[in-house]
């Protein structure tokens, strides 16, 4: 019997996060690459054996070849733009990122692939996404040959639920928090997602998403920086990196202090968190735990603490990977339960 392989994948608007490997009892090995899908070049290789080749893979969707992966930014031209639509999971770009992640996983098949969707699109698109990803995918192997990788079953989960599994299992508090009311907050690239749940049961009326993630904040900061520079920035990647690392971005070859511009981004974040707080309601008085995850978690942390001053915020470990780690743990539990039930039925 072949090995049972469970993998998790979180295709975000900003980054595609995926599980590379997980051995029981060890840390889950995760990685990511930017969620950009420039069309693959049909020209000749210009590296000439001198420059390193890009760390990317070429995948095909509906007859179009895309170059995706860790160095995909180096393949895009100045006119390239990200897909920031609610129906993102139905696009060819999304499928290209899925196939790119499967290529990086390096597995012969996947028995269960766990995916995530934003809270506001999960009900509408989860079934369609499940059917799109199910089946055989042609994936480039390390030697450049195209191979068939079968995805045998798919689960689609609201993204913040992954953070719940990751945090509670990592800290050994699942038994306690499954009987408590929890607020799970996931500031992503395009949306600010949140789930109010009793354990892992969503309270839909108080959960939601707002099109106010890091992309809007980066745009606000970038427009302000552009005015100061006297030049319209087309790409905010340098600003994004500066926020994440605490460094200073370089423009025209010189470092620039953008702390005043970042304050404008914080004000934007406060507007988004106010929408969340209104939907959660009652100042969160009945919320037992607030868990913060996602790529924008660190930027939003102080703003969320301002809005919920009587709560202690629980930040997940390496928050950009919290959802995908949680998907992996949930998927493994599901497969273990299914195997147990099958064995019991056969007995």
> Which tens digits make up the pLDDT trace of 70-123?
888 887 665 455 666 778 999 999 999 999 999 999 999 999 999 999 888 999
If one counts every other C-beta atom within 10 angstroms of the C-beta of residue 103, the result is: 23
- What residues contact residue 131 under an 8 Å CB cut-off, 6+ apart? none
Please indicate, yes or no, if residue 300 is contained in any of the structural domains. Answer: no
Give the chain's radius of gyration (CA, Å). Answer: 21
pLDDT at res. 50: 47
Tell me, yes or no, whether 134 lies in a domain: yes
pLDDT of residue 74: 81
Listed residue (47, 128, 121, 114) closest to 84, CA to CA: 121
Per-residue DSSP letter, 202:
E
CA–CA dist 114, 156 (Å, integer): 6
The range of the structural domain enclosing residue 103 comes to: 6-159+322-346
Structure tokens at 121: 């699109």
Q: Is residue 332 situated within a structural domain?
A: yes
Task: Return the structure tokens found at 253.
Answer: 């070859």
Exposure class string for 76-92: b at 16+ Cβ within 10 A, else e: beeeeebbeeeebbbee
Distance CA(233)–CA(174), nearest Å, equals 45
Say what the pTM is: 0.88
Q: Which residues contact 310 (CB under 8 A, 6 or more apart)?
A: 283, 284
The Cα–Cα gap between 94 and 218 comes to 22
Rounded CA gap, 19 and 282, in Å? 38
Contact 69, 104 (CB under 8 A): yes
The DSSP 8-state label assigned to residue 36 in this structure reads -
Nearest-angstrom CA–CA distance, 322 and 344: 33
Q: What is the pLDDT of residue 347?
A: 62
333 domain residue, yes or no: yes
CB-neighbour burial class of residue 335 (10 A; exposed 0-12, middle 13-18, buried 19+): middle
Query: CB neighbours (10 Å) of residue 141?
Result: 12
CA distances from 82 to 85, 87, 142, 235, 335 (A): 9, 13, 27, 11, 35
The four Cα atoms 211, 217, 222, 223 give a dihedral, to 10 degrees, of 70
In a domain, 16, yes or no: yes
In a domain, 140, yes or no: yes
CA–CA distance, 235 with 227 (Å, rounded to integer): 14
pLDDT < 70: residue spans in the chain: 1-2, 42-52, 76-84, 340, 347
- d(Cα 105, Cα 88) in Å, to the nearest integer? 22
Secondary structure letter of residue 97 according to DSSP: H
State how many domains the chain has.
1
Considering the domain boundaries, does residue 249 fall inside one? Answer: no
| Percentage above 90 pLDDT, the chain | 71
Q: Other CB atoms closer than 10 Å to residue 189's CB: what's the count?
A: 22
CB distance 276 to 192 below 8 Å: yes
Asked if the structure places residue 113 within a domain, the reply is yes
Position 54 scores a pLDDT of 86
What are the angstrom distances between the C-alpha of 333 and each of 22, 24, 112, 326?
A: 13, 11, 11, 11
132's CB contacts (< 8 A; 6+ apart) are: 89, 90, 95
Give the CATH number for residue 24: 3.30.420.40
């Amino acid at each position: 019997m072949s090995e049972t392989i469970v993998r998790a994948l979180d295709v975000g608007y900003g980054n595609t996060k995926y599980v590379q490997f997980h051995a029981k009892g060890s840390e889950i090995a995760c990685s990511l690459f930017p969620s950009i899908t420039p069309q693959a070049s049909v020209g000749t290789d210009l590296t000439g054996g001198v420059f390193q080749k890009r760390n990317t893979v070429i995948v095909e969707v509906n007859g179009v070849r895309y170059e995706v992966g860790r160095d995909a930014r180096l393949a895009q031209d100045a006119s390239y733009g990200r897909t920031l639509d609610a129906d993102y999971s139905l696009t060819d770009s999304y499928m290209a990122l899925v196939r790119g992640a499967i290529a990086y996983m390096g597995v012969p098949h996947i028995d269960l692939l766990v995916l995530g969707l934003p809270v506001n699109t999960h009900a509408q698109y989860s079934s369609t996404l499940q059917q799109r990803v199910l089946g055989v995918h042609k994936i480039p192997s390390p030697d450049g040959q195209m191979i068939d990788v079968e995805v045998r079953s798919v689960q689609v989960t609201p993204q913040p639920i992954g953070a719940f599994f990751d945090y509670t299992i990592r800290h050994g508090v699942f038994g306690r928090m499954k009987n408590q009311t929890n607020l799970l907050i996931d500031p992503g690239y395009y949306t600010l997602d949140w789930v109010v749940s009793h354990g892992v049961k969503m309270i839909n009326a108080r959960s939601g998403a707002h099109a106010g993630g890091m992309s809007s904040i980066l745009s606000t900061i970038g427009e302000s920086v552009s005015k100061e520079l006297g030049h319209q920035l087309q790409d905010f990647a340098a600003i994004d990196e500066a926020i994440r690392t605490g460094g200073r971005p370089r423009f025209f070859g010189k470092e620039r202090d953008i702390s005043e511009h970042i304050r404008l981004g914080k004000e934007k974040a406060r507007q988004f968190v106010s929408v969340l707080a209104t939907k959660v309601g009652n100042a969160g008085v009945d919320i037992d735990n607030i868990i913060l995850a996602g790529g924008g978690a660190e930027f939003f942390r102080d703003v969320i603490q301002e809005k919920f001053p009587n709560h202690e915020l629980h930040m997940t470990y390496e928050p950009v990977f919290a959802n995908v780690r949680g998907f992996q743990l949930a998927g493994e539990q599901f497969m273990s339960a299914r195997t147990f039930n099958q064995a019991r039925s056969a007995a």
